[in-house]
Amino acid sequence: MFVEIACADDWSGWRGPRGDGISREATAPLRWSASENISWKTAVPGTGLSSPIVVGKRVFLTTGDATDESRRVLSFDAESGKLLWNVIVHRGPGGTMHRFNSTASSTPVSDGKYVFASFVDDKGLVLAAVDFDGREVWNRRLGTFHSTHGFAACPVLFGECVIVNGQQDGDAFVVALRCSDGEESWRYRPDVNLRSFSTPVLTKVGGRDQLILTGSSQTLALDPKNGERIWFAEGPTQKFVCTPCVGHGLVFSFGGSPEKRMMAVRLGGEGDVLGTHLAWRNERSMPYVPSPLLVGDYLHIMNDSGIYTCLAPLSGETLHTGRKLGSVYSSPISVADRIYFFEDSGTCTVIRNNSEFEILAVNELGETVQTTPAFSDGSLFVRTETQLVRISSLPSVR
């Protein structure tokens, strides 16, 4: 069996190895076009809105094929772009979903040995594990799933477990399975069933691990070892897509429906902390789909309409705001103290990590991009509507 050795610059899950959208590599491509500084382009079979992940010399994606109702995991060679394998892990009707969703919108995650991918059909939520040779290791149905908008939350890893947010209109849950065999480790059931498409993020508070997630009209933390709820705070609204940000001793939570709101909650509490740990709120130009990005002393927010806002994380003060881009579904990432924003059109604006929206470059890829790029080995890996693209690393231009 092929096993990839994980590297420090792997982008092994949604928004990278720490779930924060930040790469620790020192250099990154600054300028490119549809024909310049592109290492390769490879056609992606099927359709999907999941983002790529990179482990060693492998790139992984999920996709759906409407012709046979299949859900698939794909593996590409990171050096050449060659499709190495295309494996069916599930078949079933796509079920009800938003017209902008897909049957493969959940980004997979990898522990360097297996790739874990989640999908739904008309009966429920499924999680599959595939090894790096494309062999299915296990496949588990996690429970029923009912949502008029479909599914999008990405699995995350903690220790020897993979965790899935199954909050929904029906019998909502969050569940942890053992990576080795898919056996259930714990299951959390919220008090209220409301839509959440948000991917959890892990942090540590006073030496204690916490799984931060949003859903059921709450921002909350679970103990990732056993699924017990540590603290919760009502809000900021009912439905969630954005991944929370964590930093400066705070959780930044973003809700998109029925109102677009955010709130900052101080870490360190237990039980209902709304009255004791709420730091500040903001209800102006907040996002529904694109997850904001916290880099140092700047909280970068791009909403779905392309309105950019930079907030001071500790105070919530608005440092900068204005309409800068077109419509946006992709979430920004940060490399080498730069921020990369992809518009739906495929235009990528690169700014410096400060409060001024200081544009360093504007790049045209010429293809629709509604996914979030991965970054590894000095390169951006971008899934467009029909292709996977590697944008080469260039010498840093500062």
Residues 53, 83, 78, 139: what is their CA dihedral angle, to the nearest 10 degrees?
30
Is 304 a domain residue?
no
Q: What are 214's two structure tokens?
A: 């949003």
Domain count, the chain: 1
Q: What average pLDDT does the structure give for the chain?
A: 92
Q: For residue 219, give its domain range.
A: 201-242+244-285
Least trusted range by pLDDT, from 184-198, 218-232, 263-277, 354-368: 184-198
Do 281 and 271 meet the contact criterion of CB atoms below 8 Å apart? no
pLDDT band at 194 (very low <50, low <70, confident <90, very high): low
Q: What is the mean pLDDT of residues 181-192?
A: 93
Do 87 and 134 meet the contact criterion of CB atoms below 8 Å apart? yes
pLDDT at 395: 42
pLDDT at 155: 98
Is 231 a domain residue?
yes
Residue 261 belongs to domain with CATH number:
2.40.10.480
Is 268 a domain residue?
yes
Is 1 a domain residue?
no
Is 114 a domain residue?
no
Q: What is the mean pLDDT of residues 211-232?
A: 94
Is 27 a domain residue?
no
pLDDT at 5 over 70: no
- Residue 238 is which amino acid? Q
Do 306 and 323 meet the contact criterion of CB atoms below 8 Å apart? yes
Is 89 a domain residue?
no
pLDDT band at 223 (very low <50, low <70, confident <90, very high): very high
pLDDT at 6 over 70: no
**pLDDT 10s digits, 20-33:** 999 999 999 999 99
**pLDDT 10s digits, 259-316:** 889 999 999 999 999 999 999 999 888 999 999 999 999 999 999 999 999 999 999 9
Is 46 a domain residue?
no
- pTM of the prediction? 0.94
Least trusted range by pLDDT, from 88-92, 271-275, 373-377: 88-92
Q: What are 292's two structure tokens?
A: 């904001």
